[in-house]
Structure 1
């Protein structure tokens, strides 16, 4: 295979080398591998090469070492969508790369055995993306159990994406909670929270955490309260479609995580009490997504507006709110750039005029299926917020 490598040449304006791997017997003339070797050590063999095999990967890594004069120059490796790679490829990766970041999204040929290799052999790995690895089980992280002081993963891993790994349970997250995680994505891991006490076990053991995505898991208010208590540096929190996360969880975040910047609580049972707490405890909130939260009203939104005057994004689709609260939001949040109140039938053109008057930087406005907006209202918005794209009534109006 090495004889079939055409060494790349720099592409004008970049520090990139392109290598072409010729595959004997391939139906295509060649598989072009974007062997992107930059000064930062990035090798991108992602979805453009979905037929990348273990031997192709080995050849690409040989090319990368040639470009780097024999050194293990690859620090960031992107293999997203390379479905033919097997567990054996992980041995090749560990032997030929000094990795800090690895993206294995959609590499469906990998199993627990391949991940165990990474856990034990990748000494400097800080970012690991395992999105949609449906074959993974808790056994993938078994090397972290027991006395694992020497496990490199524990000392380095800060960003972990396990989204859509649907067979993983809280047991795996409990093992991974030993890592200094700052960013954890377990969205659509449907087994998480199935045993509430197991979730509570790891939720209180992530002191460095800054971002967590719990979308569509069975996490509950107690788990959120533990996260808030023991992860005071949380800045970004997503509990979209978590039916067991309600007021008490959000109130705990507001009380313990004063630096919270972004909160997603779409389709959760929160009420005005949650917004009141956010207004009191999270004055720096920049982004709030609470679409389809039917327990909210103008009272809650008014309380939020009174305490949070720096909102940039506010998503309220299908919430039972009116102009009364949105006008106040516009008055108090002059830096607002995106507002969506689609399906809020009691919101009218009055809100549009308030936005035009107070929010000159507004870029996106969605009032579909809300009250009727006339050409006069759109004209006022065009003057007050000239860069806004407004989706109103049943048509999209671009205002420049």
Structure 2
């Protein structure tokens, strides 16, 4: 059967070809008779070939056109858009639009995605382009972000009415445009149902009418900022929470009419919430905070500043199951400023449920004590920012523990913590990443704390650190025990310092220093202006240079006075270098008997090490005598110094400080080691008796971990 069908098809094909009406070709005819048919519409092969040839011809013409214009025109649209997106100036994008039609098509969206609205002429140009009848592009459909906040109170309802033709706005920012009302805002929002973020901060005339429109039409809304909109009530916020299930960021600062009803509704319907700011919502209470924490597991930031009705129950009432305890690992920022009812128990519960807090603000939580701060130490390396200002009940005990456990703290504020002393501040000075510290009105701190903060750039826990101090901002206003010497040391050792506040510090209320101080705020009264002293920016550098110049001048005058009063000083030093004398000059020019020193070390037995003269003391490989503000000398021991380097004018005792400056006497204690380098036991014999210098472990240096100078 199959064979018969094949024969039948072959016979039909031969008959059809024999009955063809096409003309016969001659022997020398090279033309294809198929292509010469008068009507080839019945041939599928002819149709396909003609279509392909037509497309090839069109592509060839397009390619030739591109080559004729410019090689750049051959770039695909995706690549052109990527290139244009790297242009920051709108004028550059406008130039691209005027280059060619192809460039205009690929750059117009970038130019109109976020039109410039920072000046009135810009707004007029945008509105006129949108309303133009014969415009080349539909500009109103290209606008995705609209921001007129730079003009603030100059923007009125008439300004926004001209933008109602824009129907695809995703982000609308109207911050502090206080003249706007529901009249213009409601129709604009009604036409933009793809709105993702709305910022109407400071629009105090806005009412629930506009917010209900948001709830009805902006179902994709993710961010809402209604800070300062005092007419908004629970009715509109609950409607938005029920309709906009994708909300991630909410800011209700100063919306004084909102209550627990709004927050409970948000907690029930917006489980994807990441940030919420309830600053100064004085009507909310603890149950709403508990609901937010338990229902929004992804919450990263919660600000409850000045919510004075919140107490420990907000955190103690979080359900606790031993088998599955609640843990809000995502929470990074918690602001509890001025929550007066909060106590130690609440803080302890916070630390149990929020173990990865990075920023903790508890300023003016006046009920917390050392117990709460000791609980905060559980955060360990996670804690970067902590504010404990006006927590007057905390003491050195907890602050020292905090510095030890949380060694990655970058910012700490302890303003008005009047119980703190140098002991805790010297511990904080050892924090390697500390950039900002606030010690305003910590009246108990002295120059010891400031020297510790300054020296951390070179020495931490008795060991040399790598790099310099990273301190940037130091607040020391009304620390009345501070002197010029300590602050000068801080300036010299903290090269990154950009802000230094010393308001009320008497030592800095001098005309020659105040010239580098910035101007007092205009709202200050006369008394505040008289004591204002804040250095910032270039003022810090100028103050440092001024103090260094004064120090250099004092040193030069003192050296000149010494030369005029004791002309034999140079000869005495010269004789000491050539021959070992029995006498040498003291720092005040008097003669002091030289100690007969027998050092069991590199110095030969019975030999007496010689104190170098001024030049060698300043540049020698072993020790450096540094001028101090009161004309004293201070030892800086080089760790590579030999065991024989012992000054002749130094006392033969090792349990007291060497030449302490007057402002340091009685402050550092009586147990600071003589700054000798590491080595074996050294027996020193002289006119004042014999003293054995204890062995120093290898690697230890002056002011080590056991030194009271470092506060250990």
TM class by shorter-chain length? 0.7 to 0.9
SS of the equivalent of 2:355 reads: coil
CA contact (8 A) 2:471 2:496 kept: yes
1:355 aligns with 2:453: yes
Matched, 1:172 2:262: yes
Which structure's CA Rg is the greater one?
2
Tell me the residue number matched to 1:205.
295
CA apart distance, 1:249: 2.0
**Given that residues 255 and 281 in structure 1 are in contact (C-alpha distance below 8 angstroms), is that contact kept between their aligned partners in structure 2?**
no
1:35 positional shift: 6.8
Q: Match for 1:75 among 155, 170, 173? A: 170
Deviations 1:90-122 (A, max 9, x none): 342241363221101111222122112212321
- Equivalent-residue separation in structure 1 for 2:477 and 2:116 (angstroms): 47
Q: Is 2:484 the partner of 1:390?
A: no
Query: 2:380·2:407 contact (CA, 8 Å) conserved in 1?
Result: no
Bigger relative CO (Cα 8 Å, ≥ 6 apart): 1
Work out which of the residue numbers 390, 399, 405 in structure 2 matches 1:301. 399
> In the aligned structure 2, how far is the partner of 1:206 from the partner of 1:226?
16
Whether the aligned pair in 2 keeps the contact of 1:349 and 1:373 (CA below 8 Å) is yes
How do residues 87-98 of structure 1 correspond to structure 2 at under 5 angstroms?
A: 87-88=182-183, 89-96=185-192, 98=194
Q: Helix, strand or coil: the match of 2:253? A: coil
Q: Are 2:421 and 1:322 equivalent residues in the alignment?
A: yes
1:222 shift after superposition: 1.8
Quote the residue 2:625 is aligned against: none
Q: Distance in 2 between matches of 1:340 and 1:272?
A: 19
- Provide the rounded CA distance (Å) in 2 between the counterparts of 1:41 and 1:316: 45
**2:274 matched residue in structure 1:** 182
Q: Deviations over 1:148-189 (max 9, x none)?
A: 5xx2x11x1111000100010010011111212111000111
Change (3 A) 1:190 1:344: same
User: CA separation of 1:259/1:200 partners in 2, compared to 1, >3 Å: closer, same or farther?
Assistant: closer
What displacement does 1:396 show? 2.9
Deviations 1:179-222 (A, max 9, x none): 121110001111111xx445544443221111111111121112
Please point out which of 381, 387, 392 is paired with 2:490: 381
User: Counterpart in 2 of 1:52?
Assistant: 155
Distance 1:11 1:260, change over 3 A: same
Q: Which moved more, 1:92-101 or 1:294-303?
A: 92-101
1:43 lines up with 2:138 in the alignment:
no
Gapped regions of structure 2 (runs ≥ 5): 1-88, 94-110, 128-138, 320-325, 458-468, 507-532, 542-712
Q: Is the 8 A contact 2:196 2:220 kept in 1?
A: yes
CA gap 1:232/1:111 in 2 versus in 1, 3 angstroms = same
**Structure 1 stretch displaced more, 48-57 or 365-374:** 48-57
The 1:307/1:55 distance shift into structure 2, 3 A limit, reads same
Name the CA shift for 1:142/1:17 in 2 (closer, same or farther; >3 Å): closer
Offset of residue 253 of structure 1: 2.0
Matched, 1:266 2:363: yes
| Counterpart position of 1:85 | 180
> Structure 1 47/20 Cα, relative in aligned 2: closer, same or farther at 3 Å?
closer
* Number of residue equivalences: 366
Q: Is the 8 A contact 1:257 1:282 kept in 2?
A: no
- 1:339 counterpart residue number: 437
Counterpart contact for 2:289–2:314, Cα < 8 Å: yes
Query: 2:104 aligns to what?
Result: none
Q: Secondary structure at the match of 2:198?
A: strand
Secondary structure of the corresponding residue to residue 476 of structure 2: strand
| Residue 21 to residue 354, structure 1, CA distance change in 2 (3 Å) | closer
TM-score by length of 2: 0.48
Which whole-Å CA distance do the structure 2 matches of 1:309 and 1:350 have between them?
21
Is this contact kept in 1: 2:117–2:147, CA < 8 A? no
Distance 2:118 2:301 in 1: 39
For 2:117 and 2:175, the matched residues in 1 are separated by 18
Change (3 A) 1:40 1:231: farther
Aligned mates of 1:192, 1:171 — CA distance in 2: 9
**Per the alignment, in what secondary structure is the counterpart of residue 487 of structure 2?**
helix
Judge conservation of contact 2:117–2:148 (CA < 8 Å) in 1: no
Counterpart-to-counterpart distance in 2, 1:286 and 1:379:
28
Considering only aligned residues, what root-mean-square deviation do their CA atoms show, in Å? 2.8
Alignment TM-score, normalising by the size of structure 1: 0.83
For residues 353 and 124 of structure 2, the distance between their equivalents in structure 1, rounded to whole angstroms, comes to 48
Please state how far the C-alpha of 1:77 moved relative to its aligned partner. 1.1
Q: SS of the counterpart of 1:379?
A: helix
CA contact (8 A) 2:119 2:151 kept: no
Q: Greater helix percent: which structure?
A: 2
Q: 1:281–1:11: structure 2 CA closer, same or farther, 3 Å change rule? A: closer
> 1:125 and 1:242 mapped to 2: Cα distance?
31
Contact 2:298/2:330, CA 8 A, preserved across alignment: yes
Matches within 5 A, 1:237-256: 237-256=334-353
